[in-house]
Amino acid sequence: MNSQNSPHFNPPIQQTVLRYPDNQHYQLRSADASFPSTDTTKQDLVAACNEPFLYDRIFRERLQGKPYDRDRAEYFLSWAREGWRNNAWFVFAVLSPEGKIVATIDIKTDQLEGAEIGYWCSEKSTGIMTNTVLALCNIAREAGFRHLYARIAPDNARSIGVVSRCNFSPAGLETRNGVQHLRFNKSL
């Protein structure tokens, strides 16, 4: 049953996202129990997450400089399924027209009044993230979320560009665990 205090999703969720500027059709899909956890899926994650630009921004510190490997990909997919199973966090993958995972985006909590989002995309598929965030905002609004926010390192111009194009509003600096991020809020 729907409740005002927790999100109401109906997975699996699948939606077409157009890549800018060539309008190629990518698929945004919930990474729930129905999402394939095959060797190919894991290889796609390993390939993308070890791309230097993405690895340096998201994984280098977290993995203490070790490569993003198959075990990590397997853990990620099972953590994604667990979130959907418990209606607690909500991970989506973006698939290219060839069916490769080229990006992920997540809503990190079930807090309808303000949940954080996070995302990355492969250098080979730039041009999908703005439209992916816009699609996610619609999906989140339909599920009952009223506000979303993003925390972005001050030097991450590309990510600041994404949330700005999606009409998130700058809300100043936020310090968590001694690290400063710019915060951007959006009402849905």
Ligand X SMILES: CC(C)(COP(=O)(O)OP(=O)(O)OC[C@H]1O[C@@H](n2cnc3c(N)ncnc32)[C@H](O)[C@@H]1OP(=O)(O)O)[C@@H](O)C(=O)NCCC(=O)NCCS
Residues contributing to the site for ligand X (CB under 6 A) = 20, 54, 57-58, 119-121, 126-131, 152, 156, 158-159, 161-162, 165
Residue 32 or 106: the one with the smaller Cβ distance to ligand X is 106
Smallest separation, CB 89 to ligand X (Å): 16
Q: Which residues of 128-149 are buried (b: 16+ CB within 10 A; e: fewer)?
A: bbbbbbebbbebbeebbbeebb
Smallest separation, CB 1 to ligand X (Å): 34
- Is residue 182 within 8 A of residue 160, CB to CB? The reply is yes
What is the dihedral sign for C-alpha 44, 45, 50, 55? positive
Instruction: Extract the tokens encoding 81.
Output: 């399924």
Smallest separation, CB 155 to ligand X (Å): 10
Residue 25 or 85: the one with the smaller Cβ distance to ligand X is 25
Residue 51 or 82: the one with the smaller Cβ distance to ligand X is 51
Integer distance in angstroms from the first to the last C-alpha of the chain? Answer: 22
Smallest separation, CB 110 to ligand X (Å): 20
Residue 136 or 152: the one with the smaller Cβ distance to ligand X is 152
